[in-house]
């Protein structure tokens, strides 16, 4: 994994993108410079997830981006994804590594230094600080961590750290200055009227 691919990380949402759809939104985002794309859809059937995963994997390969599947190791294996992203309630990182092999990219969400350190020691490739600011797309995680948590989590492991939660062009700069190696967004891009414009703003 090239850590620079984590600089701008897009997580999909089939509702926020509206009639434009996930595929078209992701195509525009990848063409504009998104380096990592994560397929996340908690409500889709396994069949629909696999169908979408194959489409998005092909888009990512075309644009040299990483393709990650949220939670579903089986879907990642079937479509040949670059890896998976795991939350604290998902399969442990060390078990996922056994299934996916040494070359897979495995990300792990963390909300405390202990969780970040554990993910690193189990074999994760990057940590996601979840969540930094309030957001409607993450309603089950309690209070936002705030900017101070970025340095705390980053100091707990040598892995690249991606910040997620309420990040948009107006606050992306302070998130990076707080120590994040990359920013992950959902609504800022998925719900954007002009996807390329927002991606360019985030990259700046």
- CATH code, 166: 3.20.20.70
State yes or no: pLDDT of 137 exceeds 80. Answer: no
* Mean pLDDT across 50-78: 97
* Mean pLDDT across 52-81: 97
Instruction: Quote the pLDDT of residue 164.
Output: 96
State yes or no: pLDDT of 170 exceeds 80. Answer: yes
Residues 6+ apart with CB under 8 A from 197: none
Question: Which residue range forms the structural domain that includes residue 63?
Answer: 3-203
* Residues 107-116 pLDDT 10s: 999 999 999 9
State yes or no: pLDDT of 92 exceeds 70. Answer: yes
With cut-offs at 50, 70 and 90, classify the pLDDT of residue 143. Answer: confident
138 in catalytic set: yes
Number of domains in the chain: 1
Tell how far CA 195 is from the center of its chain: 17
Q: Which of the following is catalytic: 27, 72, 111, 138? A: 138
Q: Which of the following is catalytic: 109, 111, 154, 187? A: 109
State yes or no: pLDDT of 140 exceeds 80. Answer: no
Tell how far CA 176 is from the center of its chain: 16
Q: Which of the following is catalytic: 27, 40, 111, 154? A: 40
With cut-offs at 50, 70 and 90, classify the pLDDT of residue 138. Answer: low
pTM more than 0.85:
yes
State yes or no: pLDDT of 102 exceeds 70. Answer: yes
Phi, psi at residue 182, to the nearest 5°?
Answer: -155, 170
Residues 6+ apart with CB under 8 A from 42: none
């Amino acid at each position: 994994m090239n850590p620079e691919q984590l600089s701008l990380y897009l997580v999909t949402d089939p509702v926020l993108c509206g009639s434009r759809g996930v595929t078209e939104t992701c195509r525009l985002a990848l063409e504009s410079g998104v380096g990592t794309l994560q397929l996340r859809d908690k409500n889709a059937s396994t069949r629909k997830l696999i169908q979408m995963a194959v489409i998005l994997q092909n888009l990512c390969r075309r644009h040299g981006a990483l393709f990650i599947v949220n939670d579903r190791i089986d879907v990642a294996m079937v479509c040949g994804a670059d890896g998976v992203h795991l939350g604290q309630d998902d399969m442990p990182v060390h078990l996922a590594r056994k299934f996916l092999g040494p070359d897979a990219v495995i990300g792990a969400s963390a909300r405390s230094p202990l969780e970040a350190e554990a993910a690193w020691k189990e074999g994760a490739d990057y940590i996601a600080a979840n969540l930094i600011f309030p957001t409607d797309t993450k309603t089950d995680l309690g209070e936002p961590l705030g900017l101070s948590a970025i340095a705390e989590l980053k100091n707990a492991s040598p892995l690249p750290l991606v910040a997620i939660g309420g990040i948009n062009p107006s606050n992306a700069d302070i998130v990076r200055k707080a120590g994040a190696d990359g920013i992950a967004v959902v609504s800022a891009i998925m719900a954007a009227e002009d996807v390329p414009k927002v991606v360019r703003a985030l990259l700046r």
